[in-house]
Structure 1
Amino acid sequence: MQNMFIGKGNLGSSPELKRLTGKNGDFVVATMRVMFARWGQNAEGAVEQVGGFWREVEIYGEKAEACAKHLRKGARVLVIGEEREFMAKDEDGNEVQVIKVSADDVALQLSRIESITFAPARSREEATA
């Protein structure tokens, strides 16, 4: 990997799954926008967000299908892959530089879940009443 990328961020939208046909047959790709925040300390020493950046993340194959099935907007994810830069044209026809991440792995980060509450099991009498 030439431009290795590792980052934790939040999904800006749910992943979009596309089925494509290429030279080597059919394949699937999931595309998602992820916000990667930058954190720092303020004058009082408290940690706060000091910036961030958006990246379009693509992942292929079975992992793409799993992302589309399990991830939703707002989910905290860990992305490992490679950054790729290329030139594209915007709506006005101007050349713009685009940076995407071609992911090898996208993992759901459960650190944002503060608590999970389970309902107590009900007895058979309560279930039939």
Structure 2
Amino acid sequence: MQNLFIGKGNLGDSPKLKHVAGRSGDFTVASMRVMFGRYGQTEDGGVEQVGGFWREVEIYGAKAEACAKHLRKGARVLVIGEEREFTATDDDGNEVQVIKVVAEDVALQLSRIESITFTPSRARETEAAEV
């Protein structure tokens, strides 16, 4: 990777999955917008967000399908990939430079989950047997 990108951010919307025909066959792409925050230290030693930036993130193949299945708007994710610059045309017909992250890996950051209801399979079997 030439332009290694590693960042933690929040999904601005749920991933959008699409199937694309390529030279070597069909492949799956998940695209998502992620807000990466910038943090700084306050005078009293705390940490506060002092800015941030949005990036379009794309991931391919089986990982794309997993992202579409498990990630939702607002999820905290760790993105590892490569930043690439593209030329695109906006709604007014002007050419603009767009920076995307082509992800090698996207991981859900579980530290943001406050509570999970978990019932072990043996407990469900015991409950079913008692009924």
- SS of equivalent residue, structure 1 residue 92: coil
Listed one character per residue, the Cα deviations across residues 73-112 of structure 1 (whole Å, up to 9, x for unaligned) are: 1111110000001221111112211000000000111011
- Does 1:96 pair with 2:86? no
- Does 1:11 pair with 2:20? no
Q: How does 1:62-73 map to 2 (within 5 A)?
A: 62-73=62-73
- SS of equivalent residue, structure 1 residue 65: helix
The AA in structure 2 aligned to 1:115 is S
1:45 corresponding residue in structure 2: 45
Compared with structure 1, are the counterparts of its residues 50 and 93 closer, same or farther at alpha carbon in structure 2 (3 Å cutoff)? same
Q: How does 1:1-129 map to 2 (within 5 A)?
A: 1-118=1-118, 128=131
Compared with structure 1, are the counterparts of its residues 59 and 124 closer, same or farther at alpha carbon in structure 2 (3 Å cutoff)? closer
1: CA distance, partners of 2:7 / 2:71: 16
Compared with structure 1, are the counterparts of its residues 46 and 95 closer, same or farther at alpha carbon in structure 2 (3 Å cutoff)? same
TM-score by length of 1: 0.89
- SS of equivalent residue, structure 2 residue 55: strand
The AA in structure 1 aligned to 2:8 is K
The AA in structure 1 aligned to 2:54 is W
Question: Percent identity, aligned pairs only?
Answer: 78
Listed one character per residue, the Cα deviations across residues 19-54 of structure 1 (whole Å, up to 9, x for unaligned) are: 111111111100000000011112332211000000
Q: How far does residue 114 in structure 1 lie from its aligned partner after superposition?
A: 2.6
Between the two proteins, the alignment pairs up a number of residues equal to 127
2: CA distance, partners of 1:124 / 1:8: 40
Compared with structure 1, are the counterparts of its residues 124 and 106 closer, same or farther at alpha carbon in structure 2 (3 Å cutoff)? closer
2: CA distance, partners of 1:118 / 1:26: 38
The AA in structure 2 aligned to 1:75 is A
1: CA distance, partners of 2:37 / 2:21: 35
2: CA distance, partners of 1:118 / 1:88: 46
TM-score by length of 2: 0.88
Structure 1 stretches of 4+ with a deviation exceeding 6 A read none
